[in-house]
Amino acid sequence: MNANDRYLKFVQWSEEDLLYVGYCPDLFPWGGVCHGPTAEGTYYQLTQLVCEEVEELTRAGKTLPEPATRPMREAVPA
């Protein structure tokens, strides 16, 4: 598993923007970081941004943030 795969990434429809918005709360806590007309295209953009951020942090010698965000099904026992 590479470092990019450790982070929760999700895409959600925005009624306000009428577009899909991509989120990765552990790396970009301020909110959505990309958007697009399809969920698939937006997720692809999001994965590219996460990859770039991990590479940039690593190149700069910074410690990657520990993944803290989990999907609800992992956070709440069934």
Lookup: tokens for 8: 């929760």
E strands within the chain?
10-14, 19-23, 34-36
| pLDDT tens sequence across 24-67 | 999 999 999 999 999 999 999 999 999 999 999 999 999 999 99
Distance from C-alpha of 6 to C-alpha of 27, rounded to nearest angstrom:
11
Distance from C-alpha of 17 to C-alpha of 23, rounded to nearest angstrom:
15
- pTM recorded for the entire structure: 0.85
